[in-house]
Amino acid sequence: MKLVRFEHKENIYNGVLGGSEIRTGLPDDQKNFDIREVKLLTPAVPSKVVSVGLNYRDHADELGMDIPDEPIIFIKPSTSVIGPDEEIMYPISSARVDYEAELGIVIKDRIRGITPDEAGSHILGYTCFNDVTARDLQKRDGQWTRAKSFDTFAPIGPWVETDVDPDDLYIRAYLNGEKKQDSRTSNFIFGVEKLVSFISGIMTLLPGDVIATGTPSGIGPMQPGDEIVVEIEGIGKLRNIVKAGNA
């Protein structure tokens, strides 16, 4: 089931996508919308995005880094979140802005301190995520907050897929139509249940929060005017355009 948020005639709705039709409301008060006549929004409204660094074996090999003993995490603010077809703003303070295709986990309810065995029942579903990064600032700062936190640096979408097994999905990134990343979630160092449990042992996760599960090998730079597409098997495609920023 594909769960969507969308805007139609200045009203915002939640619905279920089937084919090209979106259904909203209860059966006795149901409305139908054509997806071509609405604007898709971020499918979740997270209070925070918890991102995982270095979670693909092929990415660790690419960087020449050791496999971590436990997940490496950082937070992207809610203000960095944008939806499908929205513009990624290239900040003037950066000379290199990279794409990072990732699987996003969307949390269903409030959780704290759960076990890996309990994690599945607290996951609403999965979405495509782009962990946009100002790579030069990341290297300059030695920590990741500034490089990961610019407005528009967390594209999410196009919807939340509730019926997909996250353990072995292909994940790809296309820059201007050229495939740049191509891996599978079976290359995870830490699986979905482990990540949800680990993070919930540190902080309370709220409904709609997103966990970005790390990126595979093949990361690279984008330029203003570029189109970047994240595609994940069983979920769909997240498309965004890069635009030169003024801040």
HEC string of 99-162 equals: ECEEEEEEECCCECCCCHHHHHHHEEEEEEEECCEEHHHHHHHCCCHHHHHCCCCEEEEEEEEC
Instruction: Please give the domain boundaries of the chain with CATH numbers for all domains.
Output: 1-41 (2.30.30), 42-244 (3.90.850.10)
pLDDT of 27 above 90: no
Cα 119 → chain centroid: 19
Instruction: Compute the distance between CA of residue 123 and CA of residue 109 in angstroms, rounded to an integer.
Output: 8
Please name which of 205, 206, 209 lies closest in space to residue 78, comparing C-alpha atoms.
209
pLDDT of 246 above 90: no
What is the per-residue pLDDT for 61? 74
Length of the chain equals 247
pLDDT of 247 above 80: no
pTM score, whole prediction: 0.96
**Tokens standing for residue 57:** 């074996």
Instruction: Compute the distance between CA of residue 187 and CA of residue 233 in angstroms, rounded to an integer.
Output: 14
